[in-house]
Amino acid sequence: MHEWKTRNTKVIGLSVDSTDDHERWIVDINETQQTRVNFPIIADKDRQVSMLFGMLDPTNFRHGSSLGETMTVRSVFIISPSKRVELILSYPAYIGRNFNEILRVVDALQLSAKYRVATPANWQPGDDTVVLPFISDEEAERMFADQGGFRKVRSYLRFVRDPSLRCL
């Protein structure tokens, strides 16, 4: 997907199904969702990786031979270039994921890492950001002087324009 590439982000899938099942699923998803699955999917048939990452969910749905058989949780792990888990989103097996939200989170994480800002609830690229609480007013004034400084609402809540919009 072009959106991942523009963010210098790699996507890898993990499934407890077999490689043959993955191939059939990819054909089905491409056809029914008018998309092109073009990322690798790891087959975790023995569920070792799924268990290590807490991705198994006992459910009341009939999946397999008996009621309540464990299903995998649909989880998103965002791992930074320094190999640190930055975020985990987990969805029950019966709830679809929101890729726009995942892209928004990647944008926020990358913005924060590059410019030392935080993003408020429901932040979208281009919206105001928040000065990190451990940065003093004096340091924030220097950091964001070319953007007109910051707007102080409370000692812990100081807004600054999205630094990625900076015009030099």
Number of domains in the chain: 2
| Strand partners of residue 117 | 131
pLDDT at 86: 94
CATH for 119: 3.30.1020.10
- Per-residue pLDDT, averaged over 87-109, amounts to 90
Q: For residue range 32-41, what is the model confidence (pLDDT) as tens digits?
A: 999 899 899 9
Query: Please, what is the average pLDDT of the chain?
Result: 88
Residue 101 has pLDDT above 70, yes or no: yes
Residue 64 has pLDDT above 90, yes or no: no
* 61 in the same domain as 109: no
**Structural domain harbouring 16:** 2-97
Which are the contacts of 113, defined by CB distance < 8 A and separation ≥ 6? 80
Report how far residue 88's alpha carbon sits from residue 141's, in angstroms, rounded to the nearest whole number. 33
* 118 in the same domain as 43: no
Q: For residue range 125-148, what is the model confidence (pLDDT) as tens digits?
A: 999 999 999 999 999 999 999 888
pLDDT at 65: 60
Q: What percent of the chain has pLDDT over 90?
A: 60
* 64 in the same domain as 144: no
* pLDDT interval class at 93 (50, 70, 90): confident
- Which stretches within 63-149 are classed as H helix? 99-115, 137-143
* 122 in the same domain as 69: no
Q: Which residue has the higher pLDDT, 44 or 57?
A: 44
Long-range pairs, 122-126, Cβ under 8 A, ≥24: 125/162, 125/164, 126/162, 126/165
pLDDT at 62: 53
Report how far residue 124's alpha carbon sits from residue 78's, in angstroms, rounded to the nearest whole number. 18
pLDDT at 60: 56
